Structure formats: structure tokens, C-alpha cells
Amino acid sequence: MFFDCVWQHDNGIDEWEGYISQFKKSNGHYEMLIESRSSLRVVFGTSSFGGFACMPDFQVGCYLVNLKDLFWNTEKLVSVLGSVDGITVATALYCISDSVEY
């Protein structure tokens, strides 16, 4: 699945394309591989504290809300991954939100 990312910042707008190259459900959580400016493996699901996303290759994770809440999820993911990768993961999660039981 291809998707488009947009970052609006003080110096203008950056745009890039992402691609979800792998996606699977495993034992109550999901895993996907995103190919973009970086290669990002994302494990996400829900816990007793709410939704979460972990990026084991970067040794980071954070809590999320509804996958369709692009603003909130972008803020949380940017804080742990940086702007480009955080926007990429938040946008990918938004794009697959109708395909998962979250």
C-alpha cells in the first residue's frame, strides 16, 4: 500500500511517498514494515493503558489513540522518532486504520 506524507514547517512543505511492504497480525498485535526515507518496522496494538506503537529497531515506543487521529499520533511519534519518521509512521497507521481491529 502506497501513501503520501506531508510535513509543513517554517521553511515550507516537504512531501514524500511511503509504502507498507509487509503487514500481518500476530497474537493480538500487528506488525508492518514501512519503506520510505527510512525502513521502519512498527509493532502496534492495544494494552490495558490504550493503544501503542513500538519501533524496536530504533528502541522507542509511545502510546497512541485512535489510528484515525493523525494529529495526536503524529505529535507522539515525532517526539520519539523525529519529524520525518514520526510523520511517516503516523500516516501509515492512518492509512491502514480501516483494515485493522484496534
pLDDT tens string 35-74: 999 899 999 999 888 899 999 999 999 999 999 999 999 9
What would the grid cell of residue 99 be? 483494515
Sign of the torsion formed by the C-alpha atoms of 94, 84, 73 and 63: positive
Q: Could you tell me the pTM of the whole model? A: 0.93
Q: What's the Cα-to-Cα distance from 9 to each of 64, 71, 79, 83, 90, rounded to whole Å? A: 23, 15, 15, 10, 17
Torsions phi, psi for 22 (to 5 deg): -140, 145
Amino acid 49: pLDDT? 87
- What's the pLDDT band for 21 if we cut at 50, 70, 90? very high
State whether residue 60 is helix, strand or coil: strand
